[in-house]
Structure 1
């Protein structure tokens, strides 16, 4: 949910087992999101025909709605309802939303759309977190939080912005995990530059 919230959580020691898979998946998805943007820019970034760009952008949105209405725009208005059921949503639906929204967002920016990547990055990493949470089992909210923290830090490259955004989406109890994860991710990709997208 958007806003500061402290839901009751069922802490389990098995939650420790999700940390490494969540960090790896978060990095992999963040890498994919950024690379998708770079590939989109290479393919159509120098295409300077505004009318055709507008037409292609409309087609892109129309095709996106065939997959899900959640593919449209940045997603900030649907994050709250989406987050409330992401750990119970069908996995195939979450995969479709994560991939489609990643592609449409980055192609759209290459076609001249205006806006930022923060909300699309939160929305798509939330979908990926829901997939992994359903597959690994214990402490699904922790899994989703870690994946979002890593992916968002990789995508926008600013730990403080990632922390502020995730404070409004994730349970307050996970704030220490968010802080450690975002700064650790930022430090690792700056230390070992081959991990950068």
Structure 2
């Protein structure tokens, strides 16, 4: 392969990965704009009417495309099964998710966004592969025709075929190097766009910690509390999901039930609308002096709202809502134990609950973003202990 061809492939890959990062950033920016448009009137009646309109739009879209919106798990499953992904519905997937998020559903943007990034990454690979195989033909075409083919969104791609894939070790090595470089480039494009448009960050520091090693004895007790809470939630989710499926409700009724829940939450606890990714400041702001009972109820209500939305076709991500709810429960328990460092208690409880409901790896990574560096060893320790617990439990289940 000539040096000019190598340079062309690298530049093309950089451009496409930057486009993916920009698409992800534009989605979040647009979500902020549309959410503000729906909920900025401060008139409950107007907001309720808008939610009803949004639910009708959602029903029409889901009635036409019942398998959307896709999550990252859906995309990975499709990739594993077919060795590729049909990325032609990626923008439709984001549109449906935008409707769900803008009208206040208690789910996060991460599921559809990660699905879109996975799909667009396959798109990028197919486009770069097309340039690799068609390079000699393309360089003979007029420049405008070459650019038209290279940047046509859904034409002129080359799907992966094992028989024709390059087998030369040097090319395989270059691909392994370039893939992470392209990912970093996409992240940089996303970050620059978000910063340049002054988008609010979902990461806030919850304060400082002065925990002492002598307090480590309480860690297993707090973890047991978190595990019991998490297992209770999982049992409820399972039973609730089975119950809803058994009822076999029509789509219109399910979407309407989701809209009713959103309207009720907007009246009773408007702070629980949306995913919670921008609501963590409540825990060190307006909710700082709230009672433990209030915080516990808010955390449970947030998880109930998430379950309701997911089961009534207002689908989305669960990481941000569970993060918010786990933090709320952590602060509630910390209020019951005033003799201990508050963030020490919160970090243990939140990491345990998130580990039980999602995974220890995700919990460890996410929780560390919000806490001071001094608590990082504790968060990692709890995540490791939860990982070992899950692994031992899985082995026992497999052997029984």
When the two structures are superposed, what TM-score results if normalisation uses the length of structure 2? Answer: 0.45
Residues 104 and 2 of structure 1, relative CA distance in 2, 3 Å threshold: closer
Comparing 89-98 with 177-186, greater Cα deviation is found at 89-98
Correspondence 1:35-74 to 2 at 5 A: 35-45=235-245, 47-74=248-275
Correspondence 1:28-39 to 2 at 5 A: 28-39=228-239
Does the Cα contact within 8 Å between 1:125 and 1:148 map onto a contact in 2? yes
**Residues 1:96 and 2:288 aligned together:** no
Bigger relative contact order (CA 8 A; separation at least 6): 1
Residues 67 and 4 of structure 1, relative CA distance in 2, 3 Å threshold: closer
Counterpart for residue 281 of structure 2:
80
Determine the C-alpha separation between the residues in 1 that align with 2:315 and 2:337: 37
Q: Deviations over 1:67-91 (max 9, x none)?
A: 3123222111111333556553222
Does the Cα contact within 8 Å between 1:98 and 1:128 map onto a contact in 2? yes
Larger radius of gyration: 2
Q: Secondary structure at the match of 1:192?
A: helix
Determine the C-alpha separation between the residues in 2 that align with 1:177 and 1:34: 24
Determine the C-alpha separation between the residues in 2 that align with 1:45 and 1:194: 30
Determine the C-alpha separation between the residues in 2 that align with 1:56 and 1:191: 40
Residues 104 and 6 of structure 1, relative CA distance in 2, 3 Å threshold: closer
Which residue of 219, 225, 228 corresponds with 1:19?
219
Residues 92 and 26 of structure 1, relative CA distance in 2, 3 Å threshold: same
Q: Deviations over 1:139-169 (max 9, x none)?
A: 1111000011111111112x22222211212
Residues 4 and 195 of structure 1, relative CA distance in 2, 3 Å threshold: farther
Residues 79 and 191 of structure 1, relative CA distance in 2, 3 Å threshold: same
* Offset of residue 194 of structure 1: 10
Correspondence 1:109-124 to 2 at 5 A: 109-124=310-325
Determine the C-alpha separation between the residues in 2 that align with 1:6 and 1:39: 34
Determine the C-alpha separation between the residues in 1 that align with 2:353 and 2:395: 16
Does the Cα contact within 8 Å between 2:276 and 2:324 map onto a contact in 1? yes
Which residue of 368, 387, 393 corresponds with 1:186?
387
- Segments of structure 1 that go 5 or more residues without pairing to the other structure are none
When the two structures are superposed, what TM-score results if normalisation uses the length of structure 1? Answer: 0.86
Determine the C-alpha separation between the residues in 1 that align with 2:265 and 2:205: 31
Indicate the RMSD between aligned Cα atoms, in angstroms.
2.6
Counterpart for residue 154 of structure 1:
356
The total of aligned residue pairs comes to 195
Q: Deviations over 1:86-135 (max 9, x none)?
A: 55322222122112111111121011122121111111111111111011
Counterpart for residue 172 of structure 1:
373
Q: Secondary structure at the match of 2:262?
A: helix
* Offset of residue 184 of structure 1: 0.7
**Residues 1:139 and 2:345 aligned together:** no
- Segments of structure 2 that go 5 or more residues without pairing to the other structure are 1-200
* Offset of residue 66 of structure 1: 3.8
Determine the C-alpha separation between the residues in 1 that align with 2:367 and 2:231: 19
Determine the C-alpha separation between the residues in 1 that align with 2:366 and 2:392: 24
Determine the C-alpha separation between the residues in 1 that align with 2:260 and 2:204: 37
Does the Cα contact within 8 Å between 2:202 and 2:278 map onto a contact in 1? no
Does the Cα contact within 8 Å between 1:2 and 1:80 map onto a contact in 2? no
